[in-house]
């Protein structure tokens, strides 16, 4: 029973440091196997997902050396087999990046079909379409995606839907294909740019990452590099909304404010004060929050990964708000948990209709996935009384030291793993 226990009602105040971007790290760790030379990666978040992926990389023969919590050396010269076992893949979706990396380098890969959070169907048809266009055969047998190619040749690929995973995966394979590849309708997210910058630092030739057309000139081999991962836009956004929901004042440090523009704009719209500097954003929520409308969109629009945190803030705002989810269809599963805390939210299809309430009240709730889990913690921090959050393994997939960082801002919460510890907490806070 690992859970968070929270006594809500305290505004969060202070400064918090943001770690490296999980979604960038997962792709960069996979891409690090594409050279036989040593790659040093810094600012890697120490979370469950990155640790599982490092185990998967190790399992195929790569040398993985943890220098410290946030620094790792990877050398892919000893990779001996190209099959990634089920155990790793079931736990994290991003293991599919190893297909793109291994297919590029070895022209072959076998990886089990991916797992991860259940937030809706995330088909890999665009990935497969891209690999086929580069000249690979792709089969799905016995739960494995089997990709093989005599050689990979550059191609003109149009993505039918904007997909971060497919853009990154196809980009990785195309880096080591012969000739030129153009990816149209590419995803523009910051972590796509980060992976492209990382590959370029290894000797790849990628232009246009961050726009909807990426141009790649293939290269025969890549070399070692040292690289620092960008800060995590979603972790930063979560702490920005934590300030809004608890009527707090939080300085979020070590961020790239440009990546947070859509989040900052919405927070300003609902009545928060936003102060930006070179590498920090301060959110002050001294006034009651106002209602608004939000629709999740691919970057630079409002991120789907911030939708639950936004809903937690809006359900405490004055008036009626509407949130439309246009990326994943199962993204409102957490609303039932919020209803138990007194929120007034109705979900119809991919839209949530929210009537703001005065306050939440503490309850026993369960995290359904990573981002919704983090959002429910914010609801617990804003609530009156005691909230327990179960299934925190989801939250720990993508947030490093989440409860410790929140405690440093004044949150009264603990991570407990027994009934005794829970009772102890309740006695302590009386």
Q: Which residues are tagged catalytic?
A: 117
Q: Phi and psi (nearest 5°) for 230? A: -65, 160
**Before 300, cis peptide (omega within 30)?**
yes
Task: Supply 392's token pair.
Answer: 């925190």
Q: Phi and psi (nearest 5°) for 360? A: -95, 160
Measure Cα distances from 304 to 263, 327, 349 in Å.
11, 6, 16
Quote the CA–CA distance of 182 and 63 in Å, as a whole number. 33
Quote the CA–CA distance of 373 and 99 in Å, as a whole number. 29
The tally of CA atoms less than 13 A away on the side-chain side of residue 67 is 11
Task: Supply 349's token pair.
Answer: 């299809």
Task: Supply 303's token pair.
Answer: 């991120």
Contact between 48 and 401 (Cβ < 8 Å): no
Task: Supply 254's token pair.
Answer: 């070590």
In this structure, how many other beta carbons lie within 10 angstroms of the beta carbon of residue 75?
Answer: 18
In this structure, how many other beta carbons lie within 10 angstroms of the beta carbon of residue 26?
Answer: 29
Place of tokens 């990396």: 101
- What is the residue-wise DSSP string for 321-358? EEEE--S-TTTTTTHHHHHHTT-EEEEETTEEEEE--S
Task: Supply 344's token pair.
Answer: 């007034």
For 289, which DSSP code? P
Residue 102's nearest CA partner among 146, 67, 140 is 146
Quote the CA–CA distance of 259 and 236 in Å, as a whole number. 10
| CA terminus-to-terminus distance, the chain | 23
């Amino acid at each position: 029973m690992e859970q968070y226990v929270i006594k809500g009602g305290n505004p969060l105040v202070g400064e918090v440091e943001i770690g490296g971007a999980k979604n960038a790290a997962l792709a960069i760790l996979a891409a690090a196997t594409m050279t036989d030379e040593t790659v040093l990666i810094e600012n890697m978040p120490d979370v469950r997902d990155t640790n599982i992926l490092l185990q998967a990389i190790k399992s195929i023969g790569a040398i993985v050396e943890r220098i410290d919590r946030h620094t790792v050396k990877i050398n892919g010269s000893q990779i001996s087999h190209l099959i990634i076992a089920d155990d790793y893949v079931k736990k994290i979706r991003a293991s599919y990046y190893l297909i793109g990396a291994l297919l590029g380098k070895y022209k072959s890969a076998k990886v089990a079909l991916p797992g991860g959070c259940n937030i809706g169907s995330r088909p890999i048809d665009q990935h497969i379409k891209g690999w086929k266009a580069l000249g690979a055969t792709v089969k799905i047998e016995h739960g494995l995606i089997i990709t093989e190619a005599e050689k990979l040749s550059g191609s003109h690929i149009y993505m039918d839907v904007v997909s971060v995973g497919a853009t990154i995966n196809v980009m990785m394979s195309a880096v080591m294909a012969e000739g030129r590849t153009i990816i149209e309708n590419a995803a523009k997210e910051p972590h796509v740019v980060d992976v492209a910058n990382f590959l370029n630092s290894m000797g790849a030739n990628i232009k246009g990452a961050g726009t909807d057309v990426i141009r790649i000139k293939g290269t025969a081999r890549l070399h070692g590099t040292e690289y620092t991962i960008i800060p995590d836009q979603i972790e930063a956004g979560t702490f920005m909304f934590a300030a809004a929901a608890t009527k707090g004042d939080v300085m979020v440090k070590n961020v790239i404010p440009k990546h947070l523009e859509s989040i900052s704009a919405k927070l300003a719209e609902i009545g928060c004060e936003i102060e930006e500097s070179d590498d920090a954003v301060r959110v002050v929520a001294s006034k009651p929050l106002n209602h608004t409308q939000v629709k999740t969109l691919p970057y630079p629009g409002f991120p789907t990964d911030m939708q639950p945190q936004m809903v937690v803030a809006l359900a405490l705002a004055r008036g009626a708000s509407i949130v439309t989810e246009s990326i994943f269809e199962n993204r409102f599963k957490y609303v039932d948990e919020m209803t138990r805390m007194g929120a007034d939210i109705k979900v119809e299809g991919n839209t949530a209709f929210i009537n703001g309430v005065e306050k939440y009240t503490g309850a026993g709730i369960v995290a359904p996935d990573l981002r919704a889990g983090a959002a429910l913690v914010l609801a617990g921090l804003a609530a009156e009384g005691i909230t327990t959050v179960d299934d925190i393994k989801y939250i720990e997939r993508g947030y490093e030291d989440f409860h410790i960082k929140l405690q440093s801002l004044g949150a009264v919460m603990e991570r407990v793993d027994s009934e005794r510890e829970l009772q102890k907490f309740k006695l302590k806070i009386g």
